[in-house]
Amino acid sequence: MRLDSMSIEEALKLMNQQDRIAVEAVAKVRPAVAAAVRLVSKALSSGGRLFYVGAGTSGRLGVLDASECPPTFSTDPEMVQGIIAGGEQAMFRAQEGAEDCAEDGAAAMDQRLVGDKDVVCGIAAGGTTPFVWGALRRARELGAKTIFLTCVDGIPDEPQVDVVIRPVTGPEVLTGSTRLKAGTATKLVLNQITTISMVQLGKVYENLMVDLRATNQKLWDRGARIISTITGLPRDESMKLLREADGHVKLAIVMHQRKLPLAQASALLKRSEGRLRHALGT
C-alpha cells in the first residue's frame, strides 16, 4: 500500500521479492505443465497444431511464444499459432471490449478449422476472459484437446478442459496489473510448453538448436558454431559444410558424421523422422 511513497530502491526490492513468487508458483504446477507438454507433443507429431488464445497481455504472450517457434525450431508458422482478442492491431494497442465476446472466441476456432488433431491453450491470467472461455468451449466441441492456463484459484463455471495449469501468483504490486507476476508466470509456462515439446519432436540435440536453418548472417554464424561444437571441426570448415547442406544444420552434421553425400544424408534423416540422435546412431 505504500508503493507511491517508497524510494525507487525500496520499490524495486519489493518487485524482485514478488517476482520470485511467480517462479515458485510455476514450479508447483510442474505436473500439470508436463501433462500439457504430452498433449502438445503428441498432437504436433501427428500433424496437429497448437493454438494459444488470449486477450491483452495474455494474448500478446501467446502470440510472442508462437512467433518465436519458426526461427528457433524451423517449424511451419501454421504449427503453433497465437490468437489475440481484437486481432492483429490488439498486439500494439488495447482494443477495449474485444475480450468480452465469447462468440468471437468460438468464431476464431471455426475460422481456423480447429479439429481433433489440434490443441487449444486458453490463457486468462485473471481466469474470467469470455473470449478465451468461448474459444475453449468451442474447441472442445470440435474435438480438440484443451488446456486452460490461469493464475487464480478456480471459479464457478470454468470451461471443462483436459489440463488446467494454475500457477497462483497472488495480488500484484500494482493492484490488478496482471502483466506483472501473472504475466511472468505465464511466459515461464509457455516457454516450457513449446521448448520441451520441440525437444520431444527431435528438434534439439543435447541442448543445441540443430533444426535451425541459416537464413541470415547471425544464423549462418550460429549454425556453424553448432556444427563445430558437435563435430569438432574448425569454424571455417563448419561453415563450408553448412553451405554444402544449404544452411540446414542437422543435415550438415549427418553428412559429416556419417560420411554421406547430401541426398543420402537427407534420406537417412527422413527415415529417422528428423531425429539427429537416431540418424547418428548415438
| Active-site residue list | 68, 99
Please choose, from the candidates 222, 197, 191, the residue with its C-alpha nearest in 3D space to the C-alpha of residue 75: 197
Give Cβ neighbours of residue 78 (< 8 Å, ≥ 6 apart): 49
Per the CB < 8 A criterion, the answer to whether 44 and 69 are in contact is: no
Q: Got the DSSP string for 90-131?
A: GGTS--TTGGG-HHHHHHHHHHTT--TT-EEEEE-TTS--HH
Q: What does the block give as the cell for 118?
A: 489440434
- Angle separating helix axes 102-111 and 130-141, nearest 10 degrees: 40
In three-state secondary structure terms, 137 is helix
- In whole angstroms, give the CA distance from residue 51 to residue 19: 27
